Amino acid sequence: MIHTYSGETIHFEIKYKNRKSIAIHMDVYGNVEVQAPKGTQDDKVIQLLEARWELIQEKSKEMKDRLLGQQEKEYSQEERVLYLGNTYPVKVYQDTTIEQDYVVFDEKHINVYVKQVEDGKIKQALKRFYYQQCKAIVEKSVRSYQSNFKVKPRSIRISDSKTTLGTCDSQLQLTFNWKLAMAPMKVIDYVVVHEMCHMVHLNHDRSFWRLVGKISPDYKEQENWLALSSWKMTI
């Protein structure tokens, strides 16, 4: 079926089943399926769709964007970036008097101040901001979970890895990707706990996962966020 509302059109499929309520599902391609009790009138389905219209449009776009993969951002246009799990618009300001480009977060915007308004300069300033924030956030998180471990990390470093968000080597050196600062705080804490558990168990055996689950019981929720949203952690 097709329905247009608020100037937007969606295609959806209705399946009538032995159930008590109407439910809306979306697959990984952004396709919408409505499951409704047998005998449900179409107008009831439409009412629910319209009530959840904004969320459906948002999730559908997110799924389709995910399939396209990471797109190059153009800061001459209005761009948005992730910070601690939320997306914020990037505001760019030119200031030829500053010695170094910098970023200020004001709870509503990511404000970037640069000598030259160029995408490369803007990205460098953003990356430096995320490096600084990630280091401070991760170090605080490590301190808060240290009481769960008898061993301590020898060092905590921030990296620009293309493949991992965190690692722990045999020398107990913890390394975290600067992009981690884009994730929600619960996800950051989970990644920190995950790597700290490697100080005790270097592999992913049952003992490792038992320790992770003991310290972070909801870790699967955080892994789910990473599975669905880590592709958006880019500048």
Quick one: pLDDT at residue 65? Answer: 67
Q: Identify the bridge partners of residue 110 per DSSP, sorted by sequence position.
A: 90, 105
pLDDT tens profile 145-190: 999 999 999 999 999 988 889 999 999 999 999 999 999 999 999 9
Rounded to a whole number of angstroms, the distance between the first and last alpha carbons of the chain is 37
Quick one: pLDDT at residue 145? Answer: 98
The Cα 185–Cα 202 span in angstroms is 24
Q: Identify the bridge partners of residue 9 per DSSP, sorted by sequence position.
A: 4
Name the residue with higher pLDDT: 33 or 84: 84
Quick one: pLDDT at residue 231? Answer: 83
Residue type for position 85: G
Give the chain's mean pLDDT: 90
pLDDT tens profile 129-146: 999 999 999 999 999 999
- The answer to whether residue 29 scores a pLDDT higher than 70 is no
- The answer to whether residue 64 scores a pLDDT higher than 90 is no
Name the residue with higher pLDDT: 99 or 228: 99
- The answer to whether residue 226 scores a pLDDT higher than 70 is yes
| CA atoms within 13 Å, Cβ hemisphere of 146 | 13
Quick one: pLDDT at residue 59? Answer: 78
pLDDT tens profile 203-225: 999 999 999 999 999 999 999 89
- Quick one: tokens of 109? 């915007």
Quick one: pLDDT at residue 67? Answer: 60
Quick one: pLDDT at residue 230? Answer: 85
Quick one: pLDDT at residue 28? Answer: 61
Alpha carbon distances (Å) from 235 to 128, 175, 197, 212 = 12, 20, 30, 30
- The answer to whether residue 70 scores a pLDDT higher than 90 is no
> Which H or E element spans position 200?
none
Name the burial class of residue 135, with classes exposed (0-12), middle (13-18) and buried (19+) by CB atoms within 10 angstroms of its CB. middle
- The answer to whether residue 66 scores a pLDDT higher than 80 is no
Quick one: pLDDT at residue 207? Answer: 96
- The answer to whether residue 68 scores a pLDDT higher than 70 is no
